[in-house]
Amino acid sequence: MRGVLFMVMLMVAGLAQAAPGVDAFSVTPGANGGQTYTLSIQVLLFMTALTLLPSALMMMTSFARIIIVLAILRQALGTQNTPSNQILVALALFLTVFIMAPVFTKVNEVAIKPYLNEKVTAMQALERAAKPVREFMLAQTREDDLALFARISGHEKIDTPEATPFTLLLPAFATSELKTGFQIGFLLFIPFLVIDVVVASVLMSMGMMMLSPLIISLPFKILLFVLIDGWSLVFGTLASSFYT
């Protein structure tokens, strides 16, 4: 797990390289005059890490919480596919980079640079890279979620938070992020739900039952969201929720 984590950090920083002195691709002459082509194990690990990068980005960073809140916000506004899924994912990705920048910077300084400069071994770099990511995930993980998965996996006794294995921390962190994302989304949904209820009540009192309340409430919800500078409030709340 630590090996995959370190490879992901290398790709995020754009510094993924093979170990010094090891050929990534080699050609061996065959006995019959042919040639045999082989790839080093590091290239295979790199290609494997590429397939795991989307999952690591979504479940080991702030991305999951952000995209959940943005999706619920769009549903609460009732704007259908506006903003589109591509825009929501791009917004969540850029905000994730902003929130995770201190973690990525620390990983780059304590692990990636020393490894590329041949000052530490690969295993030492893996241990250094895992520490800041672990600290971020532990800070966002609820104790009850951690205790739940510890009980399920049989790790009833964990001496220190730093001793929590990644196999236990990952599901606990993902569960905590889902809970927090839905809690923030619920709070965002309430004022728009009130507008929908008020508009529906007014239309019913006027006998206009055939007119959809969503058509009338949509401009009022958009107006409210614009007047309170909603995007700044949402982004600011999401960013600050990771550092409180």
Rg (CA), the chain: 24
Mapping DSSP to helix (H, G, I), strand (E, B) and coil, where does residue 218 land? Answer: helix
pLDDT of residue 41: 60
How many angstroms separate the CA atoms of 75 and 105, rounded?
A: 35
- DSSP H helical ranges for 15-142: 41-59, 63-77, 85-107, 113-116, 122-140
- CB half-sphere exposure, 161, CA atoms < 13 A: 16
pTM of the predicted model, to two decimals? Answer: 0.76
Q: pLDDT 10s digit of each residue in the chain, 244 long?
A: 444 444 444 444 443 444 444 455 454 555 555 544 455 565 666 677 777 777 777 888 889 999 999 999 999 988 888 888 999 999 999 999 999 899 988 988 888 888 788 787 777 887 888 888 888 998 898 888 888 888 888 776 777 767 788 888 888 999 999 999 999 999 999 999 999 888 888 888 887 777 777 888 888 899 989 998 889 999 998 998 887 6
Supply φ then ψ for residue 123, to 5 degrees.
-65, -40
